[in-house]
Structure 1
Amino acid sequence: YVLVLSGDHVYKMDYGRMLAFHVHKQADLTAACVEVPLADAGSFGVMAVDEQERIVSFAEKPAQPQPDPGRPGVALASMGVYVFNTEFLYEQMTRDADDPRSSHDFGKDVIPYLVPRYRVYAHRFAESSVGVGPDGVPYWRDVGTVDAYWEANMELTKVVPELNLYDRDWPVWTHQEQLPPAKFVFDDEGRRGMAVDSLVSGGCIISGAVVRRSLLFSDVHVECCSLVEDSVILPNVRVGQNVVLKRVVLDRGCKIPERMEIGVDPDEDRKRYHVTAGGVTLVTPAMLGQPVFGIR
C-alpha cells in the first residue's frame, strides 16, 4: 500500500485505522474526508457517498457543492490523504501521465476518473482522528493560504489550544536542530527581554525586547527595544533595534533593519510586501532585497 499525504494540512490522525478500513473494503483507493460547512465547501474537493461509504461522485472546488445525504448544511471535503494499492497507483499514474487531456492533478483529473470505474471509498476523519476539540470536532486545519497559516499558528498561543503540542500520548515528531535554550536578557524599565502568550524555540535570544502572542521558530534574535506582536517568525531571523512587527509572517533568514515598522501601515506595506485580505503581512528575504542562500 502507498499512503499519500497533503503537505499543507495540520491534524492528528491514526493512519493505521484508515489502512484497516481500506483493506476491509477491498478498495483500490480510499480518500480521507472531513465534514465542513456547506458554505465553505467550494474551497475543497467535495465527494458524495452511498450507504457503504463508496464514493459516487467527486468534484474539485465546485461552484455548488452537494451536501452530505441527510445533512443539508454539511459537505464531505477531501483531506488530501489517500491510501492506494501500490500496483493500482503505479498503473493510474502511468495512465494519467500519458493522457494529453489531463492536467495531472489529483483532485481535478485522477480522482474523478477513478470514482466511476473502480472501488473508491471515503474514510471519515472522525473514525481515525486522535483527540477532539472542546466542541467535540476533530482538529483539522487547511493552512494553504497565508491567512490560514497565520491563524493556525496564533491558535497555539492560547492558554489551552485545540492542538496540544504537549500531548505525550500522541506526540508530534519533528526534526529540530540541537541549539541552546531560549534566552531572555536585560531587566531594565523600557528594556526588558520578555515574551508573553508566546512560543519561543531553542536558540532564540530576546535582548531587551517584548514579544506578545507570537511564535518564534529556532535561532531568532530580537534586539533591544523592539516589539513583536501577533507574528510568526521563521528560523534564522534577525530583528534589529527599535523594530515594530505586528501581524507579520517573517520568512526564514530575514534580517530586519533597525527602526523598521511592518504591520503598522498596510498601505505602506503593500508597496514592498504581500498584505493578505486578512491584514497579515508576509515578508521574505527577496522582498527585503536580501539573498536567500547561505541559510542553514
Structure 2
Amino acid sequence: MRETLTVILAGGRGSRLEPLTRDRAKPAVPFGGLYRIVDFVLSNCLNSGMRKILLLTQYKAQSLDRHINLAWRNYFCRELGEFIDVVPPQQRFADNWYQGTADAVYQNIYAIEREKPRDVVILGGDHIYKMNYQPMIEFHRKMDADITIGTLRVSREEAKQFGVIQADVDHRVVGFQEKPENPISTPEDPDAYMASMGIYVFNARFLYEQLCDDATFEDSDHDFGKNIIPDAINKYKVFSFPFMDENRKGDAYWRDVGTIEAYFEATMDLIDVDPQLNLYDNQWPIRAHQPMLPPPKFVFGSEGGPTTRRGEALDSIVCQGAIVSGGSVARSVLGPNVRINSYATVEDCILFDEVEVGRRCRLRRVIVDKGVRIPPETEIGYDPDADRARGFTVTESGLVVIARGEELSFSPDQIIA
C-alpha cells in the first residue's frame, strides 16, 4: 500500500443539510454523538493500511481542519512517509472554486505527482460505511485496470439517484448511466442495480492524462461521474468492484447522509438493539477525537406519580461528560457534555455537544446543534407551525432542527407551563 496515494474529497457545501452545515463543511458534521462524518472514511483508510492521504477542502473548512488536527495527526508518522494533509483550494490554474470532483483533483495534480504513486484512490468524505479498500486495489492491479469503480447493489428507485454501472461477467464495465429514469439492472438479477459509490482506483499516469484532457474542454462539468468515467468506458479498461461490507452482516450498510431526513435516519439506526452499523467492532474500529471528559452520569431516582424525578436514558447513546439529572431520555443520541435537567423528556432526538435542556422541557424529533440552551418549560417538536414561527427549520416529516448559536427566549404564550 506504500505505492498508493489516497485523495479524499471533503469540500462539499452540504446545502441540503443546513442549518447543520451553516458553520461547517458536511464531512465535519457530528454523527453518532462522538464522531464526525469524515471519521468513517478516514477509519477505513487507516484500517486498510492507507497512510498517505490528501484531504481536499473548500467550503467552511475551519471546523474540519481543527478536527483533523485533534483526532488524526497522531496516527501518521511523517518520518516513515505517512501523512494526512489538509489541502485548501490552491487556485493554481484559475481564480475559481473547484468546478467539479475531477477539477478538485486536477487543481492538486502537482501534490499528487510529487508522491510518485502507482495508484490513486479517490474517495468522498461524506458517506457512512465500513470498507477495506485493500482487496479493491489488489483487484485493480490484477486486472491491469485503468479505473476500478466501487459499486453497491441498490433497488430500482434508489438507482435513479446514482450513477448506474453495467458490467459483464468479468466485471468489465460496458455501460454507465448518470441518475437514469430507467436504470438497467444486472444480468443475473432483474431486481438489482449496481450503483457507483463514488469510490475510484486510478492508475496514476492514466489519471493525470484524463484530468489534463478534461481540463481543456470548456463544456465539461469536470466531474468523474458525468465526464471522466463515461468517456473512458469504451476506450480503456474500466472495471467494477462490488462493495464488501466490514460489518459482515446480512445486508451491506452504506448511507449517504446528504439530507436532514437521511442524517436523522442513519443516526437512529445506531440505537437499534443489533444495529447494522457496528460501532463496537474491535476488528474494524471507527476512530474519533476522544475529549478528556468524565463518564456520563444519571442522577435522581425517586418514585411516584406525575412528579416522578428520575434520571434515565433508554434505547439511547449517551457520550462522556453528559449528565441526565432527573430527566427522561428515550431513543436519542446525546453528545458530550449534554445536560438534561429535572422532569424534562427527550424522545427521538439528536443533541450535539454541550446542549442543555431546561427543567420540564418536552422535545420530540428534534436535532439541536452545539451549545444551544433550551429554556425551562419549553416544548419543541409537537406543533410544526409553532416551531416554524420561532424560526426553526422544520422538515416535511416534522423534524425540527435548531441551529448552532440560536438564542431561545420565548414569550409566555410560547412556553408550555
> Considering the TM-score relative to the shorter chain, is it more than 0.5?
yes
Cross-structure match for 1:181:
295
- Between the aligned partners of 2:267 and 2:260, the Cα distance in structure 1 is 11
Is 1:66 aligned with 2:184?
A: yes
- Give the superposition deviation at 1:51: 2.1
- Give the superposition deviation at 1:289: 7.6
Q: Which amino acid aligns with 2:310?
A: R
- Between the aligned partners of 1:89 and 1:132, the Cα distance in structure 2 is 32
8 Å contact kept, 1:273–1:287? no
Cross-structure match for 2:377:
259
RMSD: 2.1
Structure 1 pair 86–219 and aligned structure 2 pair: CA distance change class (3 A): farther
8 Å contact kept, 1:42–1:64? yes
3-state SS, counterpart of residue 269 of structure 1: helix
TM-score (norm 2): 0.64
Cross-structure match for 1:143:
257
Q: Deviations over 1:114-162 (max 9, x none)?
A: 323322211001xx322433xx222222222211111111121111111
- Between the aligned partners of 1:213 and 1:250, the Cα distance in structure 2 is 15
Cross-structure match for 1:161:
275
Equivalences for residues 64-213 of structure 1 within 5 A: 64-125=182-243, 128-133=244-249, 136-189=250-303, 190-213=308-331
- Give the superposition deviation at 1:33: 0.5
Which residues of structure 1 form unaligned runs of 5+? 291-296
- Between the aligned partners of 1:158 and 1:58, the Cα distance in structure 2 is 36
TM-score (norm 1): 0.88
- Between the aligned partners of 2:261 and 2:310, the Cα distance in structure 1 is 30
3-state SS, counterpart of residue 227 of structure 2: helix
- Between the aligned partners of 1:55 and 1:208, the Cα distance in structure 2 is 59
- Between the aligned partners of 2:381 and 2:285, the Cα distance in structure 1 is 34
How many residues in Structure 1 have an aligned counterpart in Structure 2?
286
Q: Larger % of strand: which?
A: 1
- Between the aligned partners of 1:289 and 1:4, the Cα distance in structure 2 is 42
Runs ≥4 residues deviating over 6 A: none
- Between the aligned partners of 1:96 and 1:244, the Cα distance in structure 2 is 54
3-state SS, counterpart of residue 241 of structure 2: strand
Cross-structure match for 2:144:
26
Q: Which amino acid aligns with 1:150?
A: F
Structure 1 pair 109–240 and aligned structure 2 pair: CA distance change class (3 A): farther
Q: Which has the higher contact order (CA 8 A, sep 6+)?
A: 2
| Percent identity for Structure 1 against Structure 2 | 45
- Between the aligned partners of 2:321 and 2:381, the Cα distance in structure 1 is 25
Q: Which amino acid aligns with 2:161?
A: S
Cross-structure match for 1:293:
none
Q: Deviations over 1:191-230 (max 9, x none)?
A: 2111111010111111221110111122222222221111
8 Å contact kept, 1:180–1:202? yes
8 Å contact kept, 2:247–2:276? no
- Give the superposition deviation at 1:89: 2.7
Q: Which amino acid aligns with 1:138?
A: A
